[in-house]
A = this chain, B = another copy of it.
Amino acid sequence: MIRALFPFALLLVTGVAHADPLPSWNDTATKDAIIAFVDGVTTPGSADYLPEADRIAVFDNDGTLWAEQPFYFQVFYALDAVKAKAEADPSILTTDVLKAAAAGDLKTVLAGGTAALGEIVMASHADMTAEAFNASVANWAATAIHPQTGLRFADMTYQPMTELLRYLRDEGFSTWIVTGGGSHFVRAFAEDAYGIPPEQVIGSMIDSEYRVIDGVGQIWKLPDIAFVDDKGGKPVGIDRNIGRRPILAFGNSDGDFEMIEYTTTGPGPSLGLILHHTDGAREWAYDRDSHIGKLERGLDEAAERGWIMVDMAGDWSRIYSGDPDKAD
Contacts and interface: CB of A to CB of B under 8 A. Distances in A.
A258 interface: yes
A210 B198 contact: no
Number of chain A interface residues as a range:
35 or more
- Copies per complex? 2
Nearest to A207: B236
A265 B208 contact: no
Given A53-B197, A199-B244, A236-B209, A265 B187 contact: no
A239 B198 CA distance: 9
A265 B199 contact: no
Interface string A205-233: 10011101001110100000000000011
Contact of A217 (B184, B187, B217, B262): B262
A302 B30 CA distance: 59
A233 B211 CA distance: 11
A212 B242 contact: no
Interface string A282-298: 00000000000000000
A104 B216 CA distance: 46
A15 interface: no
A212 B244 contact: no
Contacts of A266: 216-217
Contacts of A209: 232, 236
B232 A210 contact: yes
A235 interface: yes
A240 interface: yes
Contact of A236 (B199, B210, B212, B240): B210
A232 to B, nearest CB: 4
A321 interface: no
B235 A205 contact: no
Interface of A: 53, 130, 183-184, 187, 197-199, 201, 205, 208-210, 212, 215-217, 219, 232-236, 239-244, 258, 261-263, 265-266
Given A184-B243, A215-B265, 17 more contacts: A130-B239, A198-B242, A198-B243, A198-B244, A199-B242, A199-B243, A208-B236, A210-B233, A210-B234, A210-B258, A212-B265, A217-B261, A217-B263, A217-B265, A217-B266, A219-B235, A240-B241
19 contacts: A184-B243, A199-B199, A199-B241, A199-B243, A199-B244, A201-B243, A208-B239, A210-B233, A210-B234, A210-B235, A210-B236, A210-B262, A217-B235, A217-B258, A217-B261, A217-B263, A219-B239, A240-B241, A241-B241
